[in-house]
Structure 1
Amino acid sequence: MGIGIALAALFVLIALISIFGHYHAAENVPKKDGRSIFYRRNFNFLSQAEKDFFHVLQPFAAGHQCFVFAKVRLEDIVWVAPHVRSRFAMRNRIKSRHIDFLLCRMKDVQPLLAIELDDSSHESFKANASDVIKNEILKQAGMPLLRVRASATYDPAQLSKMIGEKLMPSV
């Protein structure tokens, strides 16, 4: 009987804290037309380095009948095979990752090449480990991956050569 009362009291306490916390947090949220605003528009979809690279990549893609997509979820271009016993765990490895750029063939929007723009943040141990996992996932899926070192400028001819070497049989 004592445990039941203690659990009931704990439940009431948690409920009160939750309710108080919700109202208290809502008081500090900016409002528009009397409604709380929880989301904000991101005006910088791409970093400056990504924008610079995109502007060099775009003409190449158009000239080769390809589209360029930015920040594509890995889960949208690879999937976990149905026979995998640890399917849920394997899906967790891809669901929160993205590819910086994806080249797709115009006529059928088939993914042809994943492109990762590697800046200094990729030098950390954690980022490096994440890159290794991403490399392996794409390799297993048969998706070519091109890693490009971020730079202040890009040579379109060199970039074209690098992409061509990865896409030889596809484009």
Structure 2
Amino acid sequence: MATKQRVSFWQWLGQILGFARQKEKLPYSLKTELLSAGEISFYHILKAIAGPSVTICPKVRLTDVFSVQSGKGWQSNWNRISQKHVDFLLCDAATMTLLMAVELDDKSHKRADREARDELVNRVFDDAGLPLLHFPAKGSYRTDDIAAQIVPCLRRNQPITAVNPVQPVASVEGGAPCCPKCGKPMVIRTAKSGARAGEQFYACSGYPQCKTILNIPQMAGIQQ
């Protein structure tokens, strides 16, 4: 009798827990892609124009870019931009300093409500002094035409320090240098083959993502 009662109890408990797990399931599912086909195409054009010194962040909320002045009307002013985003935000890759933003306008931007939205967003960027460029969505683009508008904004706003290479410095442990490319500590390796077989050299600990090596003791940079 006691065994039957225990079995019944565990069955009951299992049913309760199973029911709870079913109730906890939330009504969300994973999207298959972050950007549409047209946005992906334009993203790669921007990436080719901007180069490795610029990081391109897609679909960024305005509240992640702009702060709202405190005081009377803060909540309403925050609400006006809280549900709005820009298609692409371009930042300096080294410092993540904001450089400019880009909007890819499809046919929906011709609606009255979208025109009002664009007017507000343009005013926010203008007041903050951050360039915002609009490009009409197309089936194909002339890269030169886009670059002619993008490049001047990047040159005007990108910090000079962003193009300065990181200099190797001594690490805390063992006096080994840090990688001049990615900043990670370097480690001593021994060449196993080739003309320099048996010789030691510094190699980045971030290998294989970073393949920077330095000679010992001269530490002349060599990139594989």
Q: When the two structures are superposed, what TM-score results if normalisation uses the length of structure 1?
A: 0.74
Write 1 or 2 for the structure with the bigger share of helix: 1
In 2, distance between residues paired with 1:157 and 1:99? 23
Let me know the Cα RMSD of the aligned residues: 1.8
In 2, distance between residues paired with 1:37 and 1:95? 24
Greater relative contact order (CA < 8 Å, ≥ 6 in sequence)? 1
Deviations 1:51-77 (A, max 9, x none): 1101111122225x1000100011111
Deviations 1:115-159 (A, max 9, x none): 000111101111111000110111111111010111111222221
Match of residue 54 from structure 1: 43
Change in Cα spacing, 1:93 to 1:37, as seen in structure 2 (3 Å) is closer
Asked if the contact 2:102–2:132 (Cα under 8 Å) also holds between the matched residues in 1, the reply is yes
In 2, distance between residues paired with 1:94 and 1:87? 11
Asked if the contact 2:58–2:88 (Cα under 8 Å) also holds between the matched residues in 1, the reply is yes
Q: Cα distance, 1:37 vs. partner?
A: 4.4
Q: Cα distance, 1:95 vs. partner?
A: 0.9
Is 1:92 matched up with 2:79?
A: yes
Higher gyration radius (CA): 2
Which residue of 43, 53, 69 corresponds with 1:81? 69
Q: Which runs of 4+ in 1 moved over 4 A?
A: none
Query: Aligned residues, how many?
Result: 138
In 2, distance between residues paired with 1:169 and 1:145? 13
Asked if the contact 1:101–1:115 (Cα under 8 Å) also holds between the matched residues in 2, the reply is yes
Deviations 1:80-125 (A, max 9, x none): 123x421111111111110100100011001111100011110111
In 2, distance between residues paired with 1:34 and 1:85? 45
Partner secondary structure for residue 122 of structure 1:
helix
Percent same amino acid at aligned positions?
31
Asked if the contact 1:112–1:167 (Cα under 8 Å) also holds between the matched residues in 2, the reply is yes
